[in-house]
Amino acid sequence: MNNAIAVFASARRNGNTGKFIDWIAGDLGIEVIDLSEKNISPYDYDHRNINDDFLPLMQQLLEYEKIIFVTPVYWYGPSAQMKIFIDRTSDFLDLEELKDIGRRLRKKMAYIVCTSISSDADSSFINSLKDTFEYLGMKYGGYVHANCENGYIQENYRQDVNSFLSSVKESAYV
């Protein structure tokens, strides 16, 4: 698949969420970008951070039709690194010269890949991401979750992953 990309943010690369996305990305044949390898600083009203890695990364993501956001649930929300990344999309709303880049998000599909130690992804976690995607004009395509309460047990997630994979492969922005 060459029209999708995953953006990953966890406190560890090879933990539950890392293993989960490596499986999914391997099946889809897509790249996983690890936000911990990027220098992306928190949102700044004065945009003194405009030359960090956020804009080049966004330009890269905008080459794809489907963007998969990958994060564990940490305290009913996304990881801190993912939150920082999402906050930075406000740069597109603030800065006239970036508005056209921001508008390109309007034609994208957004998905969530997540893990937690609960039977399902917390609804406030899912809804905050879904609402953000929709505010940005992206089309939300759904999520897949791995319950890692007893560790990462891949066979437990196979059915959910299969339906997620089919939906990513078949969906299109319409």
Ligand X SMILES: Cc1cc2nc3c(=O)[nH]c(=O)nc-3n(C[C@H](O)[C@H](O)[C@H](O)COP(=O)(O)O)c2cc1C
Task: Please report, as ranges, the residues that interact with ligand X according to CB under 6 A.
Answer: 10-12, 15-18, 72-76, 115-118, 122, 148
Query: How many other CB atoms sit within 10 Å of the CB of residue 123?
Result: 10
Q: With respect to ligand X, which residue has the nearer C-beta, 68 or 138? A: 68
Q: With respect to ligand X, which residue has the nearer C-beta, 76 or 135? A: 76
Q: How far is CA 40 from CA 23, 54, 86, 156, 170, in A?
A: 26, 6, 11, 34, 32
Q: Which two tokens stand for residue 105?
A: 């998000």
Q: With respect to ligand X, which residue has the nearer C-beta, 78 or 102? A: 78
Least distance between ligand X and beta carbon 30 (Å): 18
What is the DSSP-derived secondary structure letter of residue 52?
Answer: S
Q: Which residues contact 162 (CB under 8 A, 6 or more apart)?
A: none
The residue number whose beta carbon is nearest to ligand X equals: 15
Least distance between ligand X and beta carbon 100 (Å): 34
Residue pair 141/111 in contact by the 8 Å Cβ criterion: yes
Residue pair 92/99 in contact by the 8 Å Cβ criterion: yes
Q: With respect to ligand X, which residue has the nearer C-beta, 109 or 113? A: 113
Least distance between ligand X and beta carbon 119 (Å): 9
Q: To which residue do tokens 């922005």 refer?
A: 173
32-34 and 66-72 strand pairing = unpaired
Least distance between ligand X and beta carbon 10 (Å): 3
Least distance between ligand X and beta carbon 147 (Å): 8
Q: With respect to ligand X, which residue has the nearer C-beta, 105 or 147? A: 147
